[in-house]
Amino acid sequence: MSHLTPPRQLPETDADADAPDRTTAEEASTAPVVADTEPGASAAEEPADAKATAATDEAAGPPTKAVTEEEKDEPGGGSAGQEAADGAEDGEAPTEAVVPREASTGDESSEAAASTSAPAGAGYSPARPGWFGWRRRYPRAATAVRVGTTVLAGALVFVVLLVPNRLDWITVQSFLRLPVEAIFLAAVLLVLPSRGRRITAVALGAFVGLSAVLKCLDMGFRQTLARPFDLVFDWVLLSDGADWVKDSFGRSGEVLAVVGVIVLVIAVLALSALAMVRLADVLARHRPAAVRSTLVLGVVWIICFTLGVQFGGVTVATKGYAQYLANRVQYVRDGLGDADVFKKQMVVDAYAKTPPGQLLTGLRGKDVMFTFIESYGRVAIDDPTMGPEVDATLKEGDARLKAAGFAARSGWLRSPVTGAGSWLAHSTFLSGLWIKNQQRYRTLTTSDRATLTSYFQKTGAWRTVGIVPGVRKAWPEGKYFGLDHIYDSTHLGYQGPYFSWTPVPDQFSLEAFQKLEHGKKNRDPIMAEIILASSHNPWSPIAHMIDWKDLGDGKVFYKIKKEGTNPTEVWKSAKRVRTEYRKAIQYSLDSLTEWMQRYGDDNTVLVFLGDHQPVPTVTGGTANRDVPVTIVARDPKVLDRVSNWGWTDGIKPADNAPEWTMNKFRDRFLTAYGPQGG
């Protein structure tokens, strides 16, 4: 006998019949047999020391208690063997011995057990089956817990299978459906043997958990970028998201967010696996009923699917989860094949062989500024709750420009991104290619494909500079874009505070450009790429216009920031978010038009545009990706070159103004300001 085997209890005797709570000889004869010996050993072969110990235990402690019919009828079998197994799952060593009996199902272990009693004494309690004896003392509560756990496990699996990957699609009706995937999973678990069933349940549960995480990523990306998470290209954006959290809520906020996400992912995977194992065990314990139920549900699903049965406008029989997985697989395949498609597109460049002397002849001697206003989308102009205030700002800007002798033409461009991904929009505008994902961006910036800015550099007639206050790390891509010199956030002379994500307020960035480049005497013409970042999400707090003479080194903005709003408070209300977004756009527009009025001259040509629409919280989930684009100049010949574009006079494009995809601008601009014009 193993040294770990507990002493066997001797059967009751007639002498004990009068003792309270003892089983009668007849009851004892029908009680389950206790098997304490090693396999192959009989009771007669039990060592003498074990027999002596058993005799002492019988005299000193309570007798063996037979399993009653009530306990046998408890869910899960109610047997001591099943309780021992449950106790082992809870981290408790088995306290009851088990002997095999004839199985009622093909792959189930037989269950027959009897409780063992421990020596009585001060401070010592009998052996406690399952959950430290709690199940035996409170059988009804234990039954409720077991049933509740099973229900929760089933609910978790059903929710993952049925929940859409978009927040705006989640309704009560979306959960009142019958997923074919649940029926398939039940069938798979029922046909597998015991060992294979548990292994498969763990694997399937982890997979379901992973799909739940992916659906959550899709929800987040749709709320930010109005598209699902790209399993091929979007992993790099997670670090950008962490940076955004740090800039918006501080280092502690970033750490808490990252740790919270990691813990949540692990918890989802673990709970999904445990839930699937729990359901697999329940199916196995009740195999006949489970088989019948699975067959019935399968027939019901086929009938409902064939007839197109609906409830509350929602199809009852669904295969949405399988379709979701199929779409994700196709999305990955398209992403992997996109590289070859893009490489073929890159080699097509109508101006690649144009001599430098024939490039941009219509702008020679002019200072050209390509200025991007972060998140300046069509919604800022068209939305009825923001449009009136933004329209007033545009009218004031038009009046400033006209007072300074400038005229403008405006139209619409369709951005490849929405919500975020500014660098993809910038590279689309400058390269003439549709840069819709990170792989295309990396391929582009490591190629020799010429951009609009590099064509200015190629002529040798302009000094090319970049004003990029949003850049706080190394930016090797700057050389690709053909910029002779780059001023990032650390080289603009700014000593003031960050405004959430925004390192430098727009007004200061433009003033720095004036001091560092545009205001110098006896210089060459300048081509500048300027990125205004004050209207970057989260739009709180934001700066406001002050006298240009008071900007100094930017420390004046410390007081302005304290007067601003708190992003954590603003983002509790979609209405407040939209209000702060509108104010940020107004600030950027005022900064730009006032700069032109103050520093622009006959040789200044300004092209400004939005890079993409803001997040769906602001846009209301619209699929429109249009952004305004405007050309401003004092020299009428500059605007005459684009007179055939059909753009609107002024800095506000009309509703019916032409709409181009953003990648079309480069070639049209090069054509309009080339030797032939047009």
pLDDT at 138: 84
pLDDT digits (tens, 9 = 90+) for 543-561: 999 999 999 999 999 999 9
Say how many CA atoms lie within 13 Å of 174 toward its Cβ: 15
pLDDT at 560: 95
What rounded mean pLDDT belongs to the chain? Answer: 83
pLDDT at 503: 93
Strand bridging mode 626-633 / 485-488: unpaired
pLDDT digits (tens, 9 = 90+) for 85-133: 344 334 333 444 444 444 344 443 333 333 344 444 444 444 455 656 7
**Cα Rg for the chain, rounded, in angstroms?**
37
Q: Is the pLDDT of residue 299 over 50?
A: yes
pLDDT at 8: 43
pLDDT digits (tens, 9 = 90+) for 326-344: 999 998 888 888 888 999 9
pLDDT digits (tens, 9 = 90+) for 345-386: 999 999 999 999 999 999 999 999 999 999 999 999 999 999
Q: Is the pLDDT of residue 444 over 90?
A: yes
pLDDT at 247: 67
136 or 321, which is more confident? Answer: 321
Q: Is the pLDDT of residue 47 over 70?
A: no
139 or 69, which is more confident? Answer: 139
pLDDT at 132: 67
Q: Model pTM?
A: 0.72
pLDDT digits (tens, 9 = 90+) for 559-615: 999 999 998 899 999 999 999 999 999 999 999 999 999 999 999 999 999 999 999
| Phi, psi angles (nearest 5°) of residue 413 | -125, 145
CB contact at 8 A, 525 and 603: yes
CB contact at 8 A, 23 and 65: yes
pLDDT at 130: 60
Instruction: Give the tokens for residue 383.
Output: 């939305």
- Cβ atoms < 10 Å from Cβ of 242: 15
- The DSSP letter of residue 16 is G
User: What share of the chain has pLDDT > 70, as a percent?
Assistant: 80
pLDDT at 107: 41
Instruction: Give the tokens for residue 525.
Output: 């013409």
Residue whose C-alpha is closest to residue 108's, from 197, 203, 202: 197
What is the band of 134 on the pLDDT scale with cuts at 50, 70, 90?
A: confident
For 186, 189, 215, 275, 622, the CA distances from 204, given in Å and listed in that order, are 11, 10, 16, 10, 36
Residue whose C-alpha is closest to residue 464's, from 509, 531, 514, 529: 529
> CB-based burial of residue 40 (10 Å sphere; 0-12 exposed, 13-18 middle, 19+ buried)?
exposed
Q: Choose from 40-49, 173-182, 310-319 the range with maximum mean pLDDT.
A: 173-182
One-letter amino acid for residue 24 of the chain: T
255 or 102, which is more confident? Answer: 255
Region of poorest pLDDT, from 183-192, 303-312, 400-409, 514-523: 303-312
CA distance 201 to 196: 8
- Measured in Å, how far apart are the chain's first and last C-alpha atoms? 100
Q: Is the pLDDT of residue 5 over 80?
A: no
CB contact at 8 A, 643 and 637: no
* Cα-based torsion angle of the residue sequence 124, 58, 60, 24 in order, rounded to the nearest 10 degrees: 100
Region of poorest pLDDT, from 76-85, 439-448, 457-466, 606-615: 76-85
| Phi, psi angles (nearest 5°) of residue 533 | -110, 0
Instruction: Give the tokens for residue 455.
Output: 């064509």
Instruction: Give the tokens for residue 162.
Output: 């049925």
Residue whose C-alpha is closest to residue 640's, from 607, 674, 677: 677
Helix (H) or strand (E) holding 571: none
